[in-house]
Structure 1
Amino acid sequence: MNKPAMPPATASAATALRAEDVRGALRLSHEALGGLIDLVEAMHAGIADRVLGRASAADPEAGPRRTRGLTGLVYRGVRGISGGVGSATELVLGSLARQLLPASSAAAPNARREALLAALNGVLGDHLADSGNPLAIPMRFRRQGQVLPLQAEALRERLAAQASTPRLLVLLHGLCMNDLQWQAAGHEDHGQVLARELGYTPVHLHYNSGLGIARNGRLLAERLQTLCEAWPQPLERLVLLGHSMGGLVARSAIHHAAQRRGEGDASLSWPQRLDDLVCLGSPHLGAPLERAGHGLERLLAALPYAAPLARLGQIRSAGITDLRLGHITEAASDAQGRRHWDRVPLPGNTRCYAVAASLGPAPSSLKSRLLGDGLVPVASALGRHRDPARSLDFAPERQAVVYRTGHLELLSSPEVLDLLRGWLR
């Protein structure tokens, strides 16, 4: 499997560390210890119940199983001690870190730190956000790693030196990645090339890819409205370019804005001016690797002594879970949290493009048929389903497959860049 491109670090590992990193890591380690204690107790309880004839099917909705009597008292004591020590450690070391290390606003972006933080958010981002962990990435627009202000005057000042244009290109990264990784080693960012050759002003979205896709879509819909209203000059062209999950987040944002309009709320008007949506390797019909993880989780849950281990299979974010079938709406879950198919058509007033990649040399090759780009099958990236009702209607002239190319290589592929030049001219 390809590894995310990691640009050269802009600072040493020591200077890359920030105060909130220490506090966030401490909190996460304490939560992990608590989870481990729960897991051990659940396995202990399961074995004891079977030995004593109290075996019963595990109820995933009931939370972790607990031991009884003196054993339960011991586990509660261990849990209480670990919680107390964890809180004290976070208080002391967190205070020390604030004095010795820079805060995020005072530190320059460091590529290695950003890559590690993006990966962590991709796997645990919903938990980080919901628990208020400072390691959670807030959704922001950035250029060259620097956050863009969304107040009109401040935005004009920031973009003045960069000669902003009426052509706005917003680039959305994929799962476990960040905006800096659009620039692969030895290759220009697609956005930089389109800026130089076609007059676009590229702006990168930086977001927590572990949040549910619909949740990120809702946030993006609001942020894009603010960005468009604060843009220094009237927009002549608006383009969204999403890689992998980024394409799904873009579609979700469009859908959310359309829902709001249907409810009589016209405050999100940017989709009316959205000219182009380009998806590079986006799993519109889902990703088989996530489906395999879900299957393993269900298998473990069915085994008596291994049932508590199924909780380990659940240690994947809502964002990852949404990739199972390419969910982009919150309505894709019922009251019990069970997922079902949600088909959201492509926006009718926007030119929509899809690019798929294949590790194989040709459509008929075994690699192309079985592996796609290594993560996303060709059919999923092009929105093609054997049931026409589930397919997405990308026009034939607005879809393409690039061969001998992996999922992450879409970010540096000259062939992809040529497609973008032609489509976005």
Structure 2
Amino acid sequence: MSSPGADLAPSDLRGLCLLAADGVVEVSRVVEQLHHTIARVSLPVGSPVAGTTRGITGLVYRSVRTIAGVAGSGAGLVLGRFAPAVPLGQTRIGREHLLSVLNGILGDHLEAGANPLAIDMGFLVDGMAVDLDSGLPDELARQAGRKLLVSLHGLCLNEACWVKPDGDVSLPRTLAESHGYTPVYLRYNSGRHISANGAELAEKLQRLIEIWPEPVEEIVLLGHSMGGLIARSASHHATLEGRDWVNPLSSIICLGSPHHGAPLERIGHRLDRLLGVSPYSAPFARLGRLRSAGITDLRFGNLCREDWQDRDRFEPGDDNRQPVVHADHVRHYMVAATLDRRADSLRSLTIGDGLVPVPSALGQHDRPERQVPALPEHQLVVRRSGHVDLMSRRRVLRQLQHWLRTSAASPIRKA
């Protein structure tokens, strides 16, 4: 088996050069701030010392940053002439996994810097990328049906996550084959704001149904973890914008999605604040601030731009999420997992599947306007299961099959 590095394309080397240069610049700022604090003999507790180093020392730090920036840009320009971007679906799995992790952690930074490592959102059908400008290739058009099952992966993952570890068939494909759907997979930059991905998905789904060879009669969105949040965000944007694809949208299925946030991001936020207590540790808080917008959105489960705009996402703040618009005819199905034997235990209520507490995954909230509109019979808690396990559990497959059969037998009338 080849290593991910062996799978890298020439354009990736350009992206890594730019990313390495950015890393040198950021680390030099951390070291300089710590150097300045020590030189000023600051008290161990208090606010960070403002300013930078002076004289020859300051010149050295500035020179390091300048040289790193010039070297990274120069290498990027040279490699850019010989390294075209790699089309979606035309690279090896090792490379795709590496890029997915990088995008989850630093995706917003990669996008802002036009780094070629940034993943562009796109659809795949049967492993082939869908060109929304030219339509489906003939081999895909021949197998296109009128019912679409669109699957959305989670943070730091890609469409390969749906395949079982033993290489068996995936959950989406099994559902599609048993209920007559055409499986469509979404790949996206999971480090962007959830609202940005949701808005783009709303627009791209509109274009997808416009070029689809058959009239689309039904759409089901299936999301794992962050993917479920993006599905709900896309539905929100599409409903507000009056997108045509909302009409055939019948169901949104969420597996382990942190609808009301995840403890791990909240711990990271508290760690940032703890590091800021001392001027000697405050410089290292800069490293924590490198985590992506997609990750910080998971503190509360932000789905709308209004949830985070005009706010410093790293500063303390309340849950200011705006109400999410739901089309009345769309059913919401929630699947949660817990490592415990009991769904109502303290362990289930606090850490749930290890990443998402059970109430958050079920969309339950004390404030009615923040409740995800999932009926009790449309909720499932899988016991003795982890977060990633939800994509491969037979219990989950059987329940989803039951829900889809029930949905087909009693469709909700559109207003």
TM-score (norm. length: structure 2)? 0.89
Shift of 1:304: 1.8
Report 1:217-296 matches (<5 A): 217-260=198-241, 266=242, 268-296=243-271
Using a 3 Å threshold, how does the CA distance of structure 1 residues 236 and 359 change in structure 2: closer, same or farther? same
| Partners of 2:146 and 2:181 within 8 A in 1 | yes
Of stretches 40-49 and 202-211 in structure 1, the one that deviates more from structure 2 is: 40-49
- The 1-side partners of 2:32 and 2:159 are apart by 41
Of 115, 118, 122, 2:97 maps to 115
Q: Mapping of 1:101-112 within 5 angstroms?
A: 104-105=86-87, 108-112=90-94
What SS is found at the alignment partner of 2:290? coil
Cα displacement (A) at 1:273 = 2.2
Q: Secondary structure at the match of 2:215?
A: coil
CA displacement at 1:278 relative to structure 2: 0.6
Tell me the secondary structure at the aligned position of residue 222 of structure 2.
strand
Residue among 6, 13, 18 paired with 2:9:
18
Q: Indicate if the aligned counterparts of 1:188 and 1:412 stay in contact, CA closer than 8 A.
A: no
Conserved? CA contact 2:48–2:278, under 8 Å: no
Which deviates more from structure 2 when the two are superposed, residues 69-78 or residues 372-381? 69-78
Post-superposition shift, 1:391?
2.6
2:109 corresponds to 1:124: no
Shift of 1:314: 0.9
Asked if 2 retains the 8 angstrom alpha-carbon contact of 1:281 and 1:376, the reply is: yes
- Judge which range, 352-361 or 65-74, deviates more: 65-74
Partner in structure 2 of residue 315 of structure 1: 290
Per the alignment, residue 6 of structure 1 pairs with none
- The one-letter code sitting in structure 1 at the alignment partner of 2:269 is H
User: Number of matched residues?
Assistant: 398
Contact 2:223–2:254, Cα closer than 8 Å, also in 1 = yes
Cα gap change, 1:112/1:234 in structure 2, threshold over 3 Å: closer, same or farther? Answer: same
Unaligned runs of 5+ residues in structure 1 are 1-8, 261-265
Deviates more, 1:187-196 or 1:342-351: 342-351
Evaluate the alpha carbon distance shift between residue 44 and residue 324 of structure 1 in structure 2; reply closer, same or farther with a 3 A threshold. Answer: same
Tell me which residue corresponds to 1:263. none
Aligned-pair CA distance for 1:347: 3.3
Matched, 1:330 2:305: yes
- The residue number in structure 1 matching 2:57 is 71
Corresponding position of 1:372 = 352
Partner of 1:5: none
TM-superposition CA deviations, 1:376-419 (whole Å, max 9, x none): 11100001124445332310111111112111111111111111
Shift of 1:22: 0.8
**Aligned sequence identity (%):** 47
Q: Which SS does the other structure have where 1:302 is aligned?
A: coil
* 1:351 alignment partner in structure 2: 331
CA distances 1:20-64 after superposition (whole Å, capped 9, x unpaired): 11111111011100111111111122233445x9x98349xxxx8
Q: Does structure 2 retain, via aligned residues, the 8 Å contact 1:360–1:366?
A: no
CA 1:91/1:335 → structure 2, altered by over 3 Å: closer, same or farther? closer
Task: Compute the RMSD of aligned alpha carbons.
Answer: 2.5
Task: Give deviations 1:116-143, integer Å, cap 9, x for gaps.
Answer: 1101100000000110000000000012
Change (3 A) 1:378 1:151: same
Which residue is 2:197 aligned to?
216
* Residue 86, structure 1, aligned to residue 72, structure 2: yes
Query: In terms of mean alpha carbon deviation, does 345-354 or 172-181 score higher?
Result: 345-354
Partner of 2:144: 164
Q: 1:180 to 1:214 in 2, by over 3 A?
A: same
- Give, in whole Å, the separation in 1 of the partners of 2:192 and 2:90: 25
2:340 maps to 360
Q: Residues 324 and 214 of structure 1: is their aligned pair in 2 closer, same or farther, counting only changes over 3 Å?
A: same
Aligned mate of 1:385, from 356, 365, 370: 365
SS at match of 2:276: helix
Paired residue type of 2:70:
G
Gaps spanning 5+ residues in structure 2: where?
A: 406-415
Cα-to-partner distance string for 1:335-358 (whole Å, 9 max, x where unaligned): 233553314254322011111111
Amino acid at match of 1:302: V
Check whether the contact 1:41–1:65 (CA below 8 A) recurs between aligned residues. Answer: no
Query: Does 2:146 correspond to 1:146?
Result: no
Query: Distance between the aligned counterparts of 2:270 and 2:6, measured in 1?
Result: 42
C-alpha distance in 2, partners of 1:248/1:37? 36
Confirm whether residue 399 of structure 1 aligns to residue 390 of structure 2: no
